[in-house]
Chain A
């Protein structure tokens, strides 16, 4: 799976979602990658589960309608994910760094760490919105989830 590489070249992943916190994490990851002469991959996770709930119940054949809605939403999410990745790649390019981009599928808290481990990355960068303890308990935090699950070092950027 992983090809031969120079052992001294550091390879990083940054998880992006288009938010301001994600932009700051990206900028930090770009600076770090440039400073060590490494390579950077931007990733965005499309999470179909997220689109399983919410919205009014459709009329008529409910299961059929829901299935259709979910499929459409996943496509929307894919398109949005591609845009998020493109924007991130452009932002990195403005700082003079060419990055790779990878669209992942699933809950980012699970897919980002497993992607990083599988492809033998040296570290993950992720933004943090700065939630209160209470907000974080209710909403959860991708940053916290990554810190808990990743085998590789995770840098959380505010």
Chain B
């Protein structure tokens, strides 16, 4: 069904939920997961130390994708980490084409209140323009709270995230 599954990541709770979904799909179909981090060049202006900012994004990207690869391999899923520089949605689509991905899995900004109904702009653009299927996953509310408040205000008991 799927052989190559691309999961763009930005380190958010939504991206974590997407990774979980991608890994379980990959395990079911013996597929390879690609974890892609895009160092967003539009966020770095030349006058603000372009090279430094891109380099620090790339370092974060290396760490984030290495964690994702480890997470996938823990479940016996073959995984590849990649860091690219560019405009996020364009870079994601180019990478998907380059590795011949047959599915892109992305998180949505599934927080509480109004934000629950707001897609991430990158996810929105990929959903609108990708030629291949895009699977979107909401982060669970408790994951978002935990990510935002470092532990959250109310214990959700045995919720485990590896």
**Residues of A contacting B28 with CB < 8 Å?**
35-36
Residue of B nearest to A145 (CB): B117
Q: Report yes or no: A151 in contact with B138, Cβ–Cβ below 8 A.
A: yes
Minimum CB–CB distance for A136 against chain B, Å = 6
* Complex-state Cα separation, A28 to B133, whole angstroms: 9
Main secondary structure of the interface of B (DSSP, over half): mixed
Say which residue of B1, B124, B130, B135 sits within 8 Å of A154 (CB atoms): B135
Tally inter-chain residue pairs, CB-CB below 8 A. 55
Encode A127-138 as 1/0 by CB contact (under 8 A) with B.
Answer: 010110100100
Once A35-B29, A36-B28 are accepted as A-B contacts, the answer to whether A158 and B136 lie under 8 Å apart by CB is no
Encode A113-155 as 1/0 by CB contact (under 8 A) with B.
Answer: 0000000000100001011010010000101100111110111
Interface residues on A, range: 20 to 34
* Complex-state Cα separation, A148 to B132, whole angstroms: 19
**Residues of B contacting A136 with CB < 8 Å?**
128
Residue of B nearest to A131 (CB): B128
Minimum CB–CB distance for A127 against chain B, Å = 10
* Complex-state Cα separation, A147 to B21, whole angstroms: 15
Once A131-B128, A143-B127, A148-B118 are accepted as A-B contacts, the answer to whether A155 and B135 lie under 8 Å apart by CB is yes
Q: Report yes or no: A147 in contact with B117, Cβ–Cβ below 8 A.
A: no
Once A35-B1, A151-B138, A153-B21 are accepted as A-B contacts, the answer to whether A144 and B128 lie under 8 Å apart by CB is yes
Is residue B131 contacting chain A, with contact meaning CB distance below 8 A? yes
Q: Report yes or no: A128 in contact with B1, Cβ–Cβ below 8 A.
A: no
* Complex-state Cα separation, A156 to B108, whole angstroms: 13
- 17 residue pairs bridging A and B, Cβ less than 8 Å apart: A28-B133, A32-B1, A128-B127, A128-B128, A133-B128, A141-B128, A143-B127, A144-B128, A147-B119, A148-B119, A151-B138, A153-B135, A154-B135, A154-B136, A155-B134, A156-B134, A157-B133
Closest 10 A/B residue pairs (Cβ)? A35-B1, A155-B135, A147-B136, A157-B133, A156-B134, A153-B137, A154-B136, A148-B117, A156-B127, A155-B133
- On B, residues with C-beta under 8 Å from A are 1, 21, 28-29, 103, 108, 117-119, 123-124, 127-128, 130-138
